Each structure stands twice: as structure tokens, then as C-alpha cells.
Structure 1
Amino acid sequence: MKRFAIVVSVVAAVVIGFAAAQALNLAEVREYAPQHDPAVAAAVVRVERAQETQQRVERDPFALRLDRLAARHEVEAAAAAHAKAESDSRRAVTDAYLAVIEAELAADVAALAEQMSSITLEATRLRFQHGAVTQHDVDSTQHAYQSAFLAGRNAEEDLNGARRRLEALVPGLPIDGPFQAVADLPEVPDLDDLLSAAREGDTVVAAKRQLEIATIDLEAKNPQLDAALTIEASRAWLAEAQAGVTRAEDAAVAAVQRNHDVAVRALAALGMAREGLGLRLERLSVQRARHESGLISNLDLMNEEVAVRRAELDVARAVRAYLLAVEALGGL
């Protein structure tokens, strides 16, 4: 009960801090989300029950070696499940947080495009009144505005949906406030380190538990007391368990290699998106100077501003893809 009170106090303090700042950042929501994830809470209960069972088995003078081993394995499996639940929670909230940032930028782009379409429509109507354009031109511009208007409403709905999704993962936090962009991105983890860790990962460890049980089972067989078929079955079980460890190691290594390749490609895509944004910003600077000199119209300048916002959206999407790729490697 004391531990629960401490946890509640810590969570309350975090909520108060968020309310005062009215801003969210990725590191804070990643720390906060697992505390409110039912899957994590269920995993904690499983760990506690497994530990209680292990203690009871260890105190039982009649418990067999396999009973003690099974109890220890359940504690290890429960701990691994708890770690995975926390990891899944952090990954989900990372995706949701970055989706909000992405949706905000998309809504900005849609709003600017709608504003441009509105201005263009009004200008076209004025030109039509003076006989400079045809009714077909007005109708086409009207259709373009309606499309931009609809895109704007859809973007707003997408943003609201993204916020609601994040809110479900971090209840109590100000999801309508500003969201800090991720400034410092992690590097792609070293492949050799990842491969070494993969060979000791959860799936491999689980396979090794089966191998340990199969080994003990065969060691317990007595040719003088047990039937030949029973002993042969134990040997077959042991051989299958050994093969299972090999399969688990191979699968873990292959998964890491695939995920590492995805992260490397995502980093390259991010670099290209940033380069594109840089070029757009340079062009915007030039176009602003031309606008001040009267060489281009307001709409021309707005068009460049929309292009910059779209480039920023491309960067946000690339950041999201890269961070999720690194997350899959355990690099966040």
C-alpha cells in the first residue's frame, strides 16, 4: 500500500508539472504512458504472482527439481512480459505523439491551401465581373476552393483524432497544448551490439528454458526403471528443444538485421527530407525579397510558404518513421 501511495504521488506531481507547463515532449510522455497502461499493470500482477509462487515452491520440502525450475522460469517469463508491455506502451505513445505533430503540420498546410483558394476565388470573380475570365474559369476555381475547404475539414478531423488517440494513452495530460518537436535524434544502434543482444533476447531465452527442462527430463530417466519408448521420447524432446534454440537465434538475428536495414533507410530518407526543406527555405527567402521588390504577387509568396510547410511535413513524417524504426531496435 505504501508503494502504491508513492506511485500515486509521483504521478500526481507529473500531472501538476504538465498542467503548469502546458506543453508536452516525447521523453515525458514515454515515461508517463506505461504508468497508465492496463497491459503494463496486468504484467506487474503476473510478476508478483509468479514471485509468490516461486517463494511458496522454494519453501515446499516436497517440491521436485522440475517444480522449482518451472517456478523460476515463470518469474523470468513474467519479467520479460512486463518489460515487453512497457516497451509496447512506449512505442504506442511515441507513434501517437509524433502523429499529433504530423497532423498539426498537415492541418497548417491545408489551412494555407484553403486560404489561397479563397483568395484565388475572390480574384477570379472580380476578374469575371470585368470580363477578363469566363464562367468556366469561375466554376473551376469554385471547385478548387470546395476541394481545399473539404481537405481543411478532413485535416482538422485527423488532428482531433490524433489528439484523442494520444489522450487515451496519457490520460490527464494536456493534449490540446503545444507539442515540442524532437530536437535530438538518436543514432542507429550498432549492428554488432544488436546481434549480440538478439542472441540473448526473450524468444531465445524462452527456447533455452525449454531446452533446460528437456535436459533435466532426460537426465531423470533411468534405463533400469523407465521404458525404452519413454527414454526415446525424452531424447526426441531434447533434440527438438536444441533445434528450437537454433531456430530462435536465427529468427532473432534475421529480425534485427531487417529492422536495422529499415532504420538505415529511414535515416537516409530523413536526410533527404531535411535537405529538401533547406532548399525550400532558401527559395522562400529569395521569393520574399522579390515580393518586397514588387516582382511577385501575394499569392506567389503564399505558394512558397505552403511549399515550405509541406517540406516541414515531409520532415515530420520522416522523423516519425525513423524514430519508430530505432524504437524497434530498442534504441530509444
Structure 2
Amino acid sequence: MNQLISIIVPVYKAEKYIARCVHSLMQQSYSNIEYIFIDDLGGDNSIQILEEAIKEYPERKEILIIKNECNKGSSESRNIGLDKANGDYVTFCDADDWMEKNALEDLFDHLNSQNADIVWSDFFLSYVDQELIQKEDVLPTSEQCIKAMISEQMHAGLWNKLYAMRLFKAHNIRFPAGYNIWEDMLVNVQLFYWAKKVSYLPKAYYHYVQYNADSQVSSKSPDKLASIFVNTQSILDFLKSKENFNAAEILAQLMLSSKKSLLFSTKKSDYRKWKEIFPESNEFVMKQKSLPQYSRLLGQAINHNNYIFINTWILTKKIKNFFSS
């Protein structure tokens, strides 16, 4: 079988990385690929570099470059890509990352052999001077995968997974336009819920770059947390009506994960925000194993207005930051 795979790539401020990304996609050993690049108007030379790289692969015929009329963000760009996609299967790539040449062939062969709707694999965390393999060994059931994503034992990224396109179409699954952080979690929770069978391929193919300061994930914009909270609420709304996912402790894990960055601050205003957002989750903070022990203790102190602990923590953190700077 050689069914069509669509690969959707939003492009925004990626001129330092886009050539490497494109070459890795064009050199895939799988032959029947439809490439959809969405120009999200980053104002740099990304698209020119993309177009030059594509010229080196005249055998690749199914290539579409879509120019947004304004900057729309990754979520809406992916929706535009989905609207144009003709593939039986779909995957996603970020423009600053890249794939091993046999990624799509191996993912498709595994998905096909297992008669699965979704297959996922390990991936590389790519730093400037080293790469680390991130193992994604989760029991291959939809329920376990959703719970693993909620508890941060499985990465909710789109790019190390291959999906049957029918999941998107049959259940009208869309990315949340305007909310570009945790949008992958929201979409993956829905996709895994509706999948009849999922499967894990224990090999790393995708190189997830950790050093691009222009990426949406690296951004420290004020809208970042707001986007996370909006998408968290959408996930909660979806899960609350689903059997096996509406237990208070499961939902609390999700809420606590969404606001955990506030505990890494030394600002009391951030601590107040942590207490006020999803307050029903606060009593579970000591059970949040994805948080370091000191963050759990800080959350417990904030929840119980233990200002002695809070003030001591802030002072200790500031002294440590002073001597390490």
C-alpha cells in the first residue's frame, strides 16, 4: 500500500532552519507525500529559502505553498492546511525541526501493519551541542495515552505522530484559532479519544529543536498563559462528559500542569494568580508528581496562605539567582 500522506508545515520566522527542514521532508523514503507549507508572514526570508530548496526536488510534484493574508498563528495555519489536504493520513512538522529520512515510511508501515488510527514514536530533543532521545513508551490504548499526556508522561506534540485523516473529518476536529499554546494537547486528546486503535513505534525519528528563540513555545508573551488556560478549559469541557476521564484527580492533574509555570516565579502576583486559576485543583498539588518537590511545597503553602514559607522561598530564590548571575 502506498496511500497519500499529507504533511502540514506552518512557516513563521524560520529562515535559520527552514532549509534543513525542507531537505529532510523532500528526502523522505516514502514516495506518496503531499506537502502543504503555510506562510504565516514572519517577515523574514523563510519562504524564499523554502522555494529555493524545493527546486532541488523536481520529482516531488505535490507541493502547495499557501500565503496567509495576515499572521494567523500556528493553530489557524494548521486548519488551513487541513482544509487543503487530500491525504489518507496526515502528520505535522514545525519549520525549525527536521525528520530522519525513513520517518514517514516506518510510521506508515507500522500503522498499516497494526491496523491503527494513530501511531507515535520516540523523538530527539535537539540542543546546540547534543541530542537526547525522549522515550514515549506508553501502554498503547487511547485511555492510557490521554492520561499519560495529562500527567506529562507522554508528549502531546503533533510531530512524532501519524494520524488517519478520517479522525479529523468524522469528528470535525479543529485547532483553536488564535490560541497557539497547548493547542496540540487539545487536538490530541480528541484524536486519541476517538481512535479505535493506537500503536507505539519504539524508535526516534523527529528532531525537536530546543534552541530557537523565535518559536512560539519559546515566546514569553503575555498571551502565552492565557492561551494555555483557554485550551485547558476546552480539554476539561471535553473530558468531563467522557467516562474514564472525569475523575477529580485526573482533571486536577491537567489544571495543575497548565499553571505550573507560575510556581517558578518569585512574584507574589503570580502566586495569587496560581491560587485563583482552577482553584478546585489546588488541594491535589502534593500529588502532582510532574512538579519538583519544592514546587509542590510552595503550591501547598500558597493554597494555605503560609506566608512565612512563601517569603522565605522568595528570599532564598533571589539570593540563589544573585550568586548564580
Structure with the higher helix share, 1 or 2: 1
TM bracket, shorter-chain basis: under 0.3
| Greater RCO, 1 or 2 (C-alpha within 8 Å, sep 6+) | 1
Q: TM-score, normalized by length of structure 1?
A: 0.23
Q: TM-score, normalized by length of structure 2?
A: 0.24
Structure with the higher strand share, 1 or 2: 2
Larger radius of gyration: 1
